[in-house]
Amino acid sequence: MIYNLGSINADYIYRVPHLPAPGETLAATEMTRGLGGKGANQSVAARLAGSQVTHIGSVGSDGGWAIEAMAGFGVDCAHVTSGDAPTGHAIINVDPGGENAIVILPGANQKQSLNQLEMAIGAASASDILLLQNETSHQVEAAQLGREKGLTVVYSAAPFSAKSVQEVMQFVDLLVMNSVESEQLSTALDVSLSQLEVPKLLITKGAAGADWIEAGNTLHVPAFPVTPVDTTGAGDCFIGYLAAGLDQGMRPDDAMRLAAAASAIQVQRYGTADAIPTRVEVDAFLADC
């Protein structure tokens, strides 16, 4: 079982001829709205990968559609609350090469209910996984509760904040960062990655694959070579599938390969949560490799 204290956003995705420069006004060629947020993306990915997922989050009074969308994927939304703050949203510009530039309004994601969090995690058992990111309030409380319950705490340190990582790190079993974030953390703490006081590290490197670092050893899994059209949410897809693989008893290398395949499919589609592939699609992709 996977529990996820995570953001829920409305993603407004604009197709643009190139990412805007400072002071530049661009005409978009297309706009779509869909379910997003690092938390929602990870929950959907983990559920599509075949794990049971309970999402803990918050939306505004305008966010009923997002809850319905997550529930439509099979995510348990019994612990998603509704409040006065607006539902979080993201403005995402995507260029023809699939690169993006994103502005986020946190909204209700920063208004999580501590009582709801305690109720949700209180139902968890030591064999469960807790996913966290940096787009909500109460990450520290959630990580501490997860540690006390014996859950495997997986923390995606994005959007990156060295202060947030320092506050949560003592309760984390698997710290997830991309290569830029790992360099930022090493610089901020003035330590090497091998000196970070966490049991396991996962460094994602996009097209260069990912590294699992544990007990001084590094396990590298390459990415699958594909031509991306939209990289938005690819990291979330990876982490959701990885968590599901671990939840289902896979070894880290097998879970990473599963996650890499899911991300390879996702980046060849437009969108975020709606672009995440099903387990059937991922298994078929791997069978052809």
Mean pLDDT of 187-208: 90
How many Å separate Cα 247 from the centre of its chain? Answer: 16
84 is catalytic: no
User: Which residue of the set 11, 230, 236, 247 is catalytic?
Assistant: 236
Average pLDDT, the chain: 94
pLDDT tens by residue, 5-48: 999 999 998 999 999 999 999 999 999 888 999 999 999 999 99
* Structural domains of the chain, with CATH: 2-7+36-84+109-287 (3.40.1190.20)
CB 245 within 8 A of CB 210: no
pLDDT tens by residue, 226-276: 999 888 899 999 999 999 999 999 999 999 999 999 999 999 998 889 999
- Report the distance separating Cα 83 and Cα 69, nearest Å: 18
Q: Tokens 């190139």 correspond to what residue? A: 18
At residue 6, the pLDDT reads 97
Among 71, 76, 66, CA closest to 37:
66
What pTM was estimated for this model as a whole? 0.93
pLDDT tens by residue, 131-160: 999 999 999 999 999 999 999 999 999 888
